[in-house]
């Protein structure tokens, strides 16, 4: 049985003290932190039309080549979900944490842009941004971003064509079988090597190379604090693994830190 850390005031105060003493904290987030914004996690069953599809079968270059309309419509559906989504208390707690600590790098696997919308100022997006689109051929360089709002096409037919080369336009996200943006990944590893505290929130820790980052931080001496209602692949290396939702635990953790800062000797 993997030990989880009870979300008690004493434990939150202890975690707040660890964060307060940190010189260089890093936060690593996955889909779980956006769950309370109404966005299904990657491994939640999608509802309606999309329930029959396995995201890992849709989010690949091969799936897009075979059926560009199906993949494009799936992303349009997810963008519609996102259009109604707002940052939740978990996202906002990380903005407050950055204010209290003076510096905080957020490394996210999420493509929803909610950390940026909440106000986090230093966000490394490992898997791209679903709100952006690019030429499938990256004909003008990687990435060749395309603003589809300037294009006129039959939306019922699926994705538009690149105005430069005629290839299909696709979402600017990293698909399975694709490599992550080199600069983002390199900086993420460097930040995790330097970190003395790693706060890991809402990730199953199942997808590489992002899943390696908490282990890199641990190997370089970081204190690892996890927040997840369920155990994950990270739990075994966590010094504390709070069994709770990000939108509940993170605000309480930040409140404990603010109280510590206000009353520190």
Which CB atom, from 75 or from 162, has the smaller least distance to ligand APR? Answer: 75
262 closest CA partner among 13, 92, 93, 89: 13
> Among all chains, which residue has been given the structure tokens 């950055």?
98
String marking each residue 192-221 x if it binds ligand APR according to CB under 6 A: ---------xxxx-xx--------------
Note whether 72 and 159 are within 8 A (CB). yes
String marking each residue 7-46 x if it binds ligand APR according to CB under 6 A: -----------------------xxxx-xx----xxx---
Q: Nearest 5°: CA angle at 130, between 125 and 135?
A: 100
Among 124, 245, 256, 257, binds ligand APR (CB under 6 A): 245
Note whether 250 and 90 are within 8 A (CB). yes
- Residue 243 interacts with ligand APR (CB under 6 A): yes or no: no
Which CB atom, from 169 or from 246, has the smaller least distance to ligand APR? Answer: 246
Note whether 188 and 126 are within 8 A (CB). yes
Q: State the residue number with the nearest CB to ligand APR.
A: 32
In angstroms, rounded to a whole number, what is the distance separating the alpha carbons of residues 43 and 81?
Answer: 16
127 is catalytic: yes
Burial of 45 (0-12, 13-18, 19+ CB in 10 A): exposed
The catalytic residue among 20, 127, 164, 263 is: 127
Catalytic residues: 127
Residues that bind ligand APR (CB under 6 A): 30-33, 35-36, 41-43, 109, 127, 201-204, 206-207, 227-230, 232, 245-247
């Amino acid at each position: 049985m993997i030990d989880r850390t009870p979300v008690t005031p004493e434990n939150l105060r202890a975690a707040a003290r660890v964060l307060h003493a940190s010189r260089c904290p890093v936060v690593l987030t996955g889909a779980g932190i956006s769950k309370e914004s109404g966005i299904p996690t990657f491994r939640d069953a999608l509802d309606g039309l999309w329930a029959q599809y396995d995201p890992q079968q849709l989010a690949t270059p091969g799936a897009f080549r075979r059926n560009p309309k199906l993949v494009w419509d799936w992303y349009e559906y997810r963008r519609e979900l996102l259009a109604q989504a707002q940052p939740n208390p978990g996202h906002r707690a990380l903005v407050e944490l950055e204010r209290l600590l003076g510096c905080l790098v957020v490394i996210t696997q999420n493509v929803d842009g909610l950390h940026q919308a909440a106000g986090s100022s230093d966000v490394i997006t490992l898997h791209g941004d679903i709100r952006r689109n690019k030429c499938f051929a990256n004909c003008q360089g990687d990435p060749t971003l395309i603003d589809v709002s300037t294009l006129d096409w039959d939306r019922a037919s699926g994705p538009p064509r690149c105005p430069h080369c005629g290839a299909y336009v696709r979402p600017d996200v990293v698909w399975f079988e694709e490599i992550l943006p080199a600069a983002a990944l390199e900086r993420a590893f460097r930040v995790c090597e330097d970190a003395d505290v790693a706060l890991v929130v809402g990730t199953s820790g199942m997808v590489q190379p992002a899943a390696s980052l908490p282990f890199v931080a641990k190997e370089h001496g970081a204190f690892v604090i996890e927040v997840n209602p369920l155990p994950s692949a990270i739990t075994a290396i966590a010094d504390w693994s709070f069994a709770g939702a990000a939108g509940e635990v993170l605000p309480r953790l930040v409140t404990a830190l603010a109280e510590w800062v206000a009353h520190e000797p």
